[in-house]
Amino acid sequence: MVEYTEEIEDFEEEITESEEEIQGREMFEHHRFEADKGQMPLRVDKFLLVRLPHASRTKIQDAAESGCIRVNDKPVKSNYKVKPNDVVSVVLSYPKREIEITPENIPLDIVYEDDYFLVVNKPAGMVVHPAFGHFSGTLVNALLWHLKDNPLFTGNDIRPGLVHRIDKDTSGLLVIAKTEEAKSHLALQFFNKTSDRKYLAVCWGNLESETGTITGHIGRHPVNRKVMSVYPDGSHGKHAITHYKVIERLGYVNLVECILETGRTHQIRAHFKYIGHPLFNDAEYGGNAILKGTTFSKYKQFVNNCFAVCPRQALHAQTLGFTHPATGERLSFESPIPPDMLQLIEKWRNYTSER
């Protein structure tokens, strides 16, 4: 008898959960199976087919072609023969949800596009994919219109082509696959942490060091399920590492660059709250109050004006890098600072220069 364990990144819940919780789930499921001592030689695609009832043989074979099936930590093709005690791991996208999604003619800021993927610059305020309370106006609704002739975008899949996401009120770069093979290839890069992601943020307070690393498991808050908490003892959540560098000190706030070593839900927002420097105007993590500065009414008015200029967490996915799924070329894309964050930074520059 074959013994196996199944590992699924984060958790799957019903469509009735909150938009924030759906936004927070990972995009792919990860399975690990161990063949028993009496395992007869069997093609790995057939081996997986009987253990993954929701996955078709074509989907499994596509995963193999993209390097997403590994035996004893080495990528294999679908015709590999599983042997006794082999450890087989596979990365697959979650099965489609049967809900109706309407294509919408929403303009997209497309940074790059070819036959395999496109990179878009998502504005703040746009939800990435449909969820409870947000079944229209999402990035996926726009993609279904833009890619209406692409078979990957013709069903009721709420996450077609998605390999990662950013929060609704975070702006910046996202890559969307246009084929199943490209989707698996890109997903594996994000899973293996070989993609590059760099963020720009404004946080409250003056960071002690010019550079630093924040380490701490991130998991759901035990009471408020819309936010994440940091568990430094590793008792809950998943391992998370954020590297940061101070770009500019602007009095009571800092402009920082963040590089993700892992990709957890709300990672930067939760980590900076944990070290006592919430992101500016991050309502869910306490950054929408005056946390640093003076008690003068003129200063309070200035900060409130800053909140009005940038009415969301000051976080922007500025740089995205990965290997092209077909050519193997290393690519890097950069998005300019959006107008609301640029205005915010300029206001703090002016305030600092006048002090």
3-state secondary structure of 58: helix
Report the C-alpha gap between 173 and 15 in whole angstroms: 26
Closest CA to 149 of 116, 114, 118, 178: 178
Closest CA to 272 of 253, 293, 290: 253
CB neighbours of residue 211 within 10 Å: 11
3-state secondary structure of 64: helix
Report the C-alpha gap between 188 and 92 in whole angstroms: 9
Q: Which structure tokens are listed for 313?
A: 């967490």
Report the C-alpha gap between 320 and 328 in whole angstroms: 16
Which amino acid is present at 83?
K
CB neighbours of residue 12 within 10 Å: 14
Q: Which structure tokens are listed for 235?
A: 């008792």
Report the C-alpha gap between 1 and 23 in whole angstroms: 38
Which of the 8 DSSP states describes residue 269? H
From residue 222, how far is each of 12, 24, 72, 77 by CA, in Å?
Answer: 17, 15, 36, 42
Helix 57-65 with 180-191: angle, nearest 10 deg: 60
Closest CA to 254 of 289, 278, 274: 278
Which of the 8 DSSP states describes residue 3? E
114: annotated active-site residue: no
Q: Which residue has the tokens 């915010």?
A: 344
Report the C-alpha gap between 137 and 311 in whole angstroms: 19
| Kind of pairing between the strands at 171-177 and 315-323 | parallel
CB 85 within 8 A of CB 34: yes
Active-site annotation holder among 167, 169, 282, 340: 167
Q: Which positions are catalytic? A: 167
